[in-house]
Amino acid sequence: MPELKTLGLFVVTALAEIVGCYLPYLWLREGKSIWLLVPGALSLALFAWLLSLHPTAAGRVYAAYGGVYVFMAILWLWAVDGIRPTGWDILGSAVALLGMAIIMFAPRSS
């Protein structure tokens, strides 16, 4: 099913971006090792490469990806930061995912 493949690719892409931003955050805000910048940079390079794997127009991919990023960031809030999402967080994530689905999976003329 191409929709599940697309969604899965977006999820992995979002995770790569979040990790790539979180590791420098740990260095800058939490006083962790500067060496975290190396895997952080590699994760951001992976993020850019993963975005290029989608077969549709780049602008559409970037716009739709944002919805999955919002959802993954809320999951990160819960799993890594230990903060339980509010109902508003969940509703906002659902709206963002709906937007992603409309952008990526709407019928298009050739």
> Hey, what are 59's tokens?
């602008």
Rounded Cα distance, 38 and 12, in Å: 19
The per-residue pLDDT for 110 is 64
What pTM, to 2 d.p., does this model score?
A: 0.87
Rounded Cα distance, 76 and 89, in Å: 12
What confidence category does residue 56 fall into, taking pLDDT thresholds of 50, 70 and 90? Answer: confident
pLDDT in tens, 1-53: 788 888 899 999 999 999 999 999 999 999 999 999 999 999 999 999 998 99
pLDDT in tens, 35-47: 999 999 999 999 9
Rounded Cα distance, 47 and 85, in Å: 25
Full DSSP string of 14-77: HHHHHHHHHHHHHHHHH---GGGHHHHHHHHHHHHHHHTT-SS-HHHHHHHHHHHHHHHHHHHH
